[in-house]
Structure 1
Amino acid sequence: MEIIIKLSQFLLSLSLLIILHELGHFIPAKLFKTRVEKFYLFFDVKYSLLKKKIGETEYGIGWLPLGGYVKISGMIDESMDKEQMALPPKPWEFRSKPAWQRLIIMLGGVTVNFILAFIIYIGMAFAYGDTYIAMDDLKDGLLIENPVMIKAGFKTGDKILAVDGTQIEKFDNDINMKVAMGKEVLIERNGVQQTIKLPNDLINQLSTKTEKIPIVSIRMPFVIGAIAEDSKNTALQPKDVLLSLNGQKIKYLDEAKTILENNKGKTIPATILRDQKETQVNVTVNKEGLLGVKIGGLGMDSLEKLGYYKVSTEKFSFMESIPVGIEKGKDQLIGYGKQLKMIFNPDTGAYKQVGGFAAIYNIFPETWSWEVFWNITALLSIMLGVMNLLPIPALDGGHVMFLLYEIVSGKKPSDKFLENAQMVGFVLLITLLVFANGNDIYKAIVGR
């Protein structure tokens, strides 16, 4: 069932992005009276799953879910229709239109991608608001368990004040990405501020670890999730919260580890919170320094009731949601630009983590959440827009590059040159596609 939910979200998001991107080309083409021969979701190599011709355009769904396309008459594109290009230009063809109209047609897809992302972020701000924990409320700092971050110089209890000079005021879903993309982090440790410089290949180091441990996370109480069958601690029950061990108060799970390690093989007193009442029990620590229990968790509401954190939720009116959503979209756009910059810098090793369709599939959760779905779709829309703007022939950005040259110089590149450039771009895209999806396969084989 989980696979079906993930696949459904993946296909729905991908289909929505492809259709709207191609619609961005289709609408201005029709407005400028340019003939559109095909409008397809997915590629119809040899045959299509579904097709219907309405007017001069054939609409359909292909069988190969690697994208989609609109075939515009008189345009050198992935179809490489040399027979059509050999004929004299017709008034309804793309090549017969003024350069400024062709430029608008080519920019239509990425424009829709960016607009869609900002609309989604505005809608999410209005529907869900903004839920976070203020950094000032993290009195005991953050939990640092990722070995890469520990090696970089972080410790549990550190408070993050700023990343690359930008103040961090909230602990939310974006904080891990902000730290991962940063160059230096200003922290406070035991009341003293200090700057930690991050290694250039941080992304690569984080991604090559088999255990996916968060970069930073909030410190959690020691909550009993379940009791192992061979555990001697039958006095414990699920949802118990440990408050002390061997006479030492513990507020967080990470504080208990040292105490348990120092009491291997012993039976020690403990204080637990059960049904909002403190209870004294004895617990047995095994030879591995464990209690023989699975760790449980508490929701943010429960953590707030127990006095651990104050969870803040801001609600926005529709008009208030507009600047909030725009700011969110701008941050994500800048963040993705930084990621691309790191990918093209060999020193970071980030290129090793480039993924294909499997990587996109895996970012969707196994349970359905519209909030998560729209958040991922908005980010993918930004990624699709930015990638299509790259000045690579066969991408929208390649066409835009040649059109800008034509507008500035007044000279139009020959059809033969554009055909050759399209072929080079197509080979480059296939190479990138093989590399990205090859990375997915490699990670699946080696388990990381």
Structure 2
Amino acid sequence: MGTITFLLVLSFLVFFHELGHFLAARYFGVKVHVFSIGFGKQLFAKEWKGTVWQFSLIPLGGYVKMKGQDDSNPALKEEGDDSYNTKSPLQRIAILFAGPFANFLLAAILYFSIAIIGASALAPSIGTVQENSPAFKAGILKNDEIIRINNTEITTWNEIGEIIVNTQGALKFYIKRDGKLIAKTISPHISDAQNMFKEDIKKRMIGISPSGKIVQLDLSFGESLVFAYEKTIFASTMIFQGVQKLIQGIIPSSEVGGVITIGKVISDASESSIIALLTITALISVNLGVLNLLPIPALDGGHIMFNLYELLTKRKPSDKVFMILTITGWVILGSLMLLGIYNDINRIFLND
């Protein structure tokens, strides 16, 4: 069942990505020969409105084959008003960007759905208080519930951290304890900490950690839209930063996951709850959007880079340069996929 869920989720994400390219291409009058989910041998195909819609043997991706644009033949040129290569650089950039944009849009829709169904978050309930910390000295105790900080009402644990980090000076905490409201003034101090990438940082802290209790968020339609927007932006930023840290060597290459890891994560999420599955699907969708925007010639970002070059210099890269860079891009992409699979297999044997 987990494998079927993985293939369905992946196919859905690929379909949405390629649909972005397809709709943008058709908007600008470009003929689309093939819309394929998967690569390799054709398993099922049906022609509709001049496009062959097909499923192929290897379900790890997909493509739209436009007139005048073919990654397997980078030097391809086809004339006519309905050809990709006769469109302006800005129009081509719009067609290329539409795929990743569709992934970001899908993620926002999924996060909005989560908000409507019933999003949850860590409750502002204290689990532990570090000895000799500002919170400890102020008399904060385990199981205290933080109701308000200064004039800001608190509903989730994340809000506490945001206020502590982004506010200067002492803070007035309003604590609920044994049914009573207690006010405590706490002065955060700068402490050593680690961010999500395990880098050592300095951070304003008061020395508390969450209890692990969960609170259900009762969001209005407008609040659900804000929730979806913020989650999509946060996920996009996190993945962009993750790629940057990987290139810088801060994140080791052994952390790169492949299709096996993705499949396991989706399978585990599907067995947990619909919210977990939607959350993982949204995160992978953002991941696809971000990775496709990387300036690797085999990806949308690489093609956007070529078109930006043409837009700025008023001339196209030579066919030779275009071919060399595209082949190089495929080598880089293939190497990353092999690295991911190698790491996946290593994790399987290490866990065993």
TM-score tier (shorter) = 0.7 to 0.9
Does the CA contact (< 8 Å) of 1:76 and 1:419 recur in 2? no
Instruction: Indicate yes or no: 2:5 matched with 1:9.
Output: yes
CA contact (8 A) 1:35 1:93 kept: yes
Aligned length: 296
Letter in 2 for 1:390: L
Note the C-alpha offset of 1:29.
0.8
Q: Is the Cα–Cα contact under 8 Å of residues 127 and 210 in structure 2 kept in the other structure?
A: no
Q: Which of 313, 322, 328 matches 1:409?
A: 313
Assess if the C-alpha contact under 8 Å between 2:36 and 2:64 holds in 1: yes
Give the alignment partner of residue 312 of structure 1, picking from 193, 215, 218: 215
Query: Where does residue 38 of structure 1 map in the other structure?
Result: 34
CA distance in 2, matches of 1:61, 1:418: 29
Counterpart selection for 2:229 from 314, 326, 335:
326
Structure 1: runs of 5 or more not aligned: 143-156, 162-167, 176-190, 204-215, 221-308
CA–CA separation in structure 2 for the residues paired with 1:104 and 1:217: 46
Secondary structure class of the residue paired with 1:367: helix
2:93 & 2:281 partners in 1: Cα distance? 26
Corresponding residue number in structure 1 for 2:324: 420
Residue correspondence of structure 1 range 382-401 to structure 2 within 5 A: 382-401=286-305
Distance in 2 (alpha carbons) for counterparts of 1:198 and 1:319? 34
2:17 pairs with 1:28: no
Task: Say yes or no: does 1:140 pair with 2:128.
Answer: yes
Verify: 1:111 aligned to 2:101, yes or no. Answer: yes
Change (3 A) 1:27 1:386: same
Distance change in 2, residues 1:48/1:382 (3 Å) = same
Q: Which residue of 2 aligns with 1:68?
A: 62
2:191 match: secondary structure: strand
SS at match of 1:20: helix
Alignment of 1:59 onto 2:53: yes
SS at match of 1:432: helix
CA contact (8 A) 1:9 1:373 kept: no
User: Structure 1 residues 201, 328: CA separation in 2 closer, same or farther (over 3 Å shift)?
Assistant: closer
Q: 2:116 aligns with which of 108, 126, 135?
A: 126
Q: Give the Å deviation of 1:407.
A: 1.1
* C-alpha spacing 1:9/1:80, structure 2 compared with 1 (3 Å): same
CA distance in 1, matches of 2:4, 2:329: 32
Match of 2:256 among 351, 354, 363: 354
- Check 1:132–1:198 CA distance in 2 against 1; reply closer, same or farther (3 A cut): closer
Alpha-carbon distance between aligned partners in 2 of 1:130 and 1:97, rounded to the nearest angstrom:
46
The separation in 1 between residues aligned to 2:222 and 2:9, in whole angstroms, is 27
Alignment match, 2:204 = none
Larger Rg, first or second structure (1 or 2): 1
Which residue number in structure 2 is paired with residue 223 of structure 1?
Answer: none
Q: Cα offset for 1:72?
A: 0.9
Q: Cα 1:414–1:192, aligned 2, differ >3 Å: closer, same or farther?
A: closer
The DSSP-based 3-state class of the residue aligned with 1:61 is strand
Q: How many angstroms apart in 1 are the aligned matches of 2:4 and 2:25?
A: 31
Give the superposed CA RMSD.
Answer: 3.0
Of 75, 85, 95, the residue aligned with 1:95 is 85
The one-letter code sitting in structure 2 at the alignment partner of 1:332 is A
What CA deviation, in whole Å up to 9, does each residue of 1:351-405 have, x standing for no partner? 2110110111121226152111110111011100000000000100000011111
Are 2:190 and 1:198 aligned? no
Aligned to 1:344: 247
Letter of the structure 1 residue corresponding to residue 102 of structure 2: V
Name the SS for the 2:47 alignment partner. Answer: strand
Unaligned runs of 5+ in 2: 131-141, 147-153, 162-186, 200-207
Correspondence for 2:73: 80
Q: 2:231 aligns to what SS in structure 1?
A: helix
Distance 1:312 1:437 in 2: 37
**Structure 2 CA distance for partners of 1:354 and 1:217, relative to 1, 3 Å:** farther
Q: CA deviation at 1:414?
A: 2.8
Deviation of 1:141 after TM superposition, in Å, equals 4.0
Distance 1:192 1:124, change over 3 A: closer
Q: Secondary structure at the match of 1:344?
A: helix
Provide the rounded CA distance (Å) in 2 between the counterparts of 1:444 and 1:128: 34
Superposed displacement of residue 93, structure 1:
1.3
Q: 1:326 to 1:56 in 2, by over 3 A?
A: same
Cα separation, 2, equivalents of 1:140 and 1:368: 27
For 2:205, the equivalent position in structure 1 comes to none
Kindly provide the amino acid, as one letter, of the partner of residue 339 in structure 2.
F
Instruction: Quote the Cα distance in structure 2 between the aligned partners of 1:81 and 1:100.
Output: 19
The structure-2 alpha-carbon separation of the partners of 1:57 and 1:338, relative to structure 1 and needing over 3 Å to count, comes to: same
Residues 279-304 of structure 1 show CA distances to partners (whole Å, capped at 9, x for unaligned) of xxxxxxxxxxxxxxxxxxxxxxxxxx
CA distance in 2, matches of 1:435, 1:64: 19
Q: Does 1:363 align with 2:265?
A: yes
Q: CA deviation at 1:39?
A: 0.5
